[in-house]
Amino acid sequence: MAQRQSTVRRLLGLLGAHRALIACSLICAAGSVVCTLYLPVLIGNATDLIVGAGNVGFAELSGILARMAAVALVTALLQWAMNLANNRIAYVLARDLRNRAFANLERLPLRTLDDRPSGDTVSRMVADVDQMTDGLLMAFTQFFTGVMTILGTLVLMFATNVPIAVAVVALTPLSFILARFIARRTFVMFRRQSETRGELTGLVNELVGGEKVVQAFGREDEGIAAFDEINARLQDTSLKAAFFSSLVNPSTRFINASVYAAVAVIGGLAVIGGSITVGGLTCMLNYANQYAKPFNEITGVVSELQNSLACAARIFELIDEKPEAPDAADARVLAEPQGAVALEHAAFSYVPSRPFIEDLNVRVEPGQRIALVGPTGCGKTTVINLLMRFYDVTGGSIAVDGTDIRSLTRTSLRAGWGMVLQDTWLKSGTVRENIAFGRPNATDEEVEAAAKAAFIHSFIMRLPQGYDTPVTENGENFSAGQRQLLCIARVMLARPPMLILDEATSSIDTRTELLVQQAFQRLMEGRTSFIVAHRLSTIQNADRILVMRDGRVIEQGTHDELLERGGFYTELYNAQFAQ
């Protein structure tokens, strides 16, 4: 209940920015209601003109019919203008919410993104916003006019015949009680439906992205079973939500029929008693219909609003996620870094109760090439994430050129590093745009020079459109090796002062790897470089090799020095190169 009230308040606050459009919608709704309420009066007057046998006032009747046509035309124009304003309010609000959600998504720390399925995030930003928009559109279109119609008909009914109006009012609370009963239950049901839909989207996103692996390991049946289980839960929650919302129409129709019957009986007695004309009764019956109809619409709107509010709550949760801690007010810009890096007593843990990296001490001079080796899960990639400030150390410090990186702006720090990761990422666009991702203002000649340095220029030139060949989502129309070469070319073009190479050649064939290694050697000249590698043949020329195990540096030295010691590095080396 508290969450629903908070969501309503926030939506109303956002709608406040569209006061002019809301005012336009309300004015059009009021005008439409006035015209709609005036129409039964004209119908009643026309009825009185044709009640008596052979006593039809054709002259007056034609005038009334003309006014009825004019009123119908004005009503249609007002409803068109109202719908236009309502559509703009709803879709502008949807646009603004998506912009805010995506802007916050870009500011979230990696820890938050790692803990949440990407499919659920996509579902919140796409499906939930659409569901919320549909509910708001129905509310704007039907709720305002419904309320005004109810109030207007009550006033006119009391002005026409008090006993009939009292009978109508006496039956009214039944509709409110019913609407409240349904609203309290449908919010919970629609909330569960949205959550389960997000879970299903996440699973589909996961399975589609890894379909090759699923088929390679013959796990299709398990994937289908997982999908069926979540889909069955979605069916269950959807049916329950639909069941409660479907109670609205038949229940309110029963109440409306009761109201209409009461008006007909009491009005018929009033006509017999001479206190009201047949035309007046016709007018009252029309008002009874108009009075009852909005309750059908409003209770239907209530159900849709519960779905809309449930979806809005999920969107606000994404918007309210705590963003990455902002740069300090006095944060410095890292200009022209020299590349001196120092980790002093650095500590980090993904889970506070389980320390991972403890008391890590490393000093790197400008231009040195540092290799990180060790078994999977020893902390190599974590060190890279700490250097880039994707995560902040929980103890100790990391400094670049003598300055703690927490006192530097993240943008300038990350601009000082160039990264090539094992997991490649390409955006939708052209080959040229992907290579120039780090330097959008690079010339065509510079882009081609970077591609040549990465030994992918000849491949690009064989593509149908060369450098203007489209790249599909995440580069699925290229092989893993080609994607990695494009990512390498991206860094070659950026030429950052410091480098991070995390298994940068893992997807490249041996011959191309030798060529790329030569290119990297040229690129690393004079640049501080951190190289993460499992293949020890790729890091034998490093100035220093840090051997890690369980979050600690247990050995360090050159390749030859470490082999002479006969320690853990020697075990790793012999495991790869033993005859």
Instruction: Return the closest-CA partner of residue 35 out of 103, 82, 89, 105.
Output: 82
* Pairwise CA distance, residues 320 & 307, whole Å: 20
pLDDT of residue 176: 64
Q: Which CATH number fits domain 341-577: 1.10.10.350, 3.40.50.300, 3.40.50.10490, 3.30.460.80?
A: 3.40.50.300
457 touches 451 (CB < 8 A): yes
| Highest mean pLDDT pick, 51-60, 215-224, 225-234, 468-477 | 225-234
pLDDT of residue 579: 46
The share of the chain scoring above pLDDT 70, in percent, equals: 89
pLDDT of residue 168: 74
Looking at residues 353-362, what average pLDDT do you find? 84
Quickly state the pLDDT bin for 224 (edges 50, 70, 90).
confident
Q: What is the pTM of this model?
A: 0.64
Q: Quick check: 576 pLDDT over 80?
A: no
Quickly state the pLDDT bin for 31 (edges 50, 70, 90).
confident
- State the Cα torsion 507-512-513-518 to the nearest 10°: -150
Map residue 271 onto helix, strand or coil.
helix
CATH of region 14-320: 1.20.1560.10
* Residue-wise pLDDT tens digits, 395-421: 899 999 888 999 988 888 888 888 887
Maximum C-alpha span of the chain: 124
Domain with CATH 1.20.1560.10 in the chain: 14-320
Do you know the residue count of the chain? 579
pLDDT of residue 3: 67
Q: Quick check: 18 pLDDT over 60?
A: yes
Mean pLDDT, the chain, rounded, equals: 80
* Pairwise CA distance, residues 485 & 490, whole Å: 9
pLDDT of residue 77: 93
Domain with CATH 3.40.50.300 in the chain: 341-577
Quickly state the pLDDT bin for 481 (edges 50, 70, 90).
confident
Which strands make up the sheet holding 357-364, listed edge to edge? 357-364, 341-348, 395-400, 403-404
Distances from the Cα of 374 to the Cα of 115, 346, 422, 538, 552, angstroms: 26, 18, 16, 14, 10
277 touches 271 (CB < 8 A): yes
* Pairwise CA distance, residues 501 & 380, whole Å: 11
